């Protein structure tokens, strides 16, 4: 299996910023996040080694039969990538000319289209989403075999935060109907799907929040999207340019499902941040002034 992973990445400090990509105080955290994203792909799908206990030496070990090409798309020099790190882990850096760095995600569509005959899967992945599941793409293949390629399975994003009682938080709750209902109406389909995987049945819902900062398309799905009149239309109507570039195009093309309820962990990505789960941190009681 050959997979193209395109990661739009941007960082430039700005005063009074509310976004992690422009918050100067978070530069080190953002630099580590993009490294962790890359290491996630390389560790899961790259070459591996095995310790020989007798010689105490590392020996080559067969990894999965998956080839991943990693491309990071940047805006000028406004990023926190380490050139030596990228060279060591075979990461290509592509400079993109756009009017606004928030439009980098739309440039990904051009890259995918230009490479449409060279890969089996085409991935858009934001620069703070780490994969931990070596069976991630096998699960996508299984879903397509069960329910057809005209449906798209998205991962659930989670944050790990030891400061809150539950530790793990699913961060993409349901959107208000005014934000999502007309897209659902345009893609009528079964509200729920279910099939057995690993013995137990797994349930999927036609999600009321399709955003995941990620999508993975087969060559067939990419070709179908490219045939639609809205492909590369630059539509910015789904919240901000960031959400629009990550989600709106595929949302106009496919009914989107996510693993549901107790089965939500069937397909996940870790969001390397805590800006959503932080809402669960218990608040300190305010002391009363009795003076």
Residue keyed to tokens 């390389």: 42
Give 133: exposed, middle or buried? Use CB within 10 Å, 0-12, 13-18, 19+: middle
Taking only the tens of pLDDT, the chain with its 291 residues reads: 999 999 999 999 888 777 788 888 889 999 999 999 999 999 999 999 999 999 999 999 988 899 999 999 999 999 999 999 999 999 999 999 898 999 999 999 999 999 999 999 999 999 999 999 999 999 999 999 999 999 999 999 999 999 988 999 999 999 999 999 998 999 899 999 998 988 789 999 999 999 999 999 999 999 999 999 999 999 999 999 999 999 999 999 999 999 999 999 999 999 999 888 888 776 665 545 543
User: Looking up tokens 């919240």, which residue turns up?
Assistant: 239
pLDDT score for 93: 96
Separation CA 112–CA 206 (nearest Å): 25
pLDDT at res. 16: 77
The secondary structure element, H or E, covering residue 243 is: helix 241-243
Does the pTM surpass 0.75? The reply is: yes
Q: How many CA atoms lie within 13 A of 250 on its CB side?
A: 31
Domains and CATH numbers, the chain: 2-280 (3.90.550)
Q: How much is the pLDDT for 287?
A: 47
């Amino acid at each position: 299996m050959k997979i193209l992973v395109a990661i739009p990445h941007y960082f430039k400090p700005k005063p009074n910023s509310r976004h992690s990509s422009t918050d100067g105080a978070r530069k080190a955290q953002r630099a580590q996040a993009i490294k962790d994203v890359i290491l996630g792909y390389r560790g899961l799908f790259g070459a591996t080694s095995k310790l020989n206990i007798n010689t105490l030496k590392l020996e080559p070990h067969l990894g999965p039969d998956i080839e991943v090409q990693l491309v990071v798309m940047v805006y000028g020099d406004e990023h926190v990538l380490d050139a030596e790190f990228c060279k060591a882990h075979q990461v290509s850096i592509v400079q993109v000319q756009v009017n606004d760095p928030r439009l980098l995600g739309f440039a990904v569509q051009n890259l995918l289209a230009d490479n449409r005959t060279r890969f089996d899967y085409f991935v858009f992945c934001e620069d703070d989403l780490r994969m931990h599941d070596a069976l991630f793409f096998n699960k996508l293949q299984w879903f397509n075999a069960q329910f057809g390629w005209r449906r798209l399975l998205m991962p659930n994003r989670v944050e790990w935060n030891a400061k809150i009682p539950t530790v793990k938080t699913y961060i993409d709750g349901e959107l208000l109907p005014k934000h999502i209902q007309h897209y659902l109406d345009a893609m009528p389909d079964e509200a729920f799907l279910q099939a057995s995987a690993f013995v137990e049945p797994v349930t999927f819902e036609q999600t009321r929040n399709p955003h995941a900062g990620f999508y993975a398309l087969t060559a067939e799905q990419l070709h179908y999207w490219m045939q639609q009149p809205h492909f590369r239309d630059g539509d910015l109507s789904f919240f901000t340019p960031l959400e629009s570039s990550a989600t709106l195009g595929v949302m106009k093309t496919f009914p989107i499902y996510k693993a549901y309820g107790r089965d939500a962990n069937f397909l996940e990505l870790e969001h390397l941040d805590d800006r959503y789960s932080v809402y669960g941190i218990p608040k300190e009681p305010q002391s009363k002034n009795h003076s």
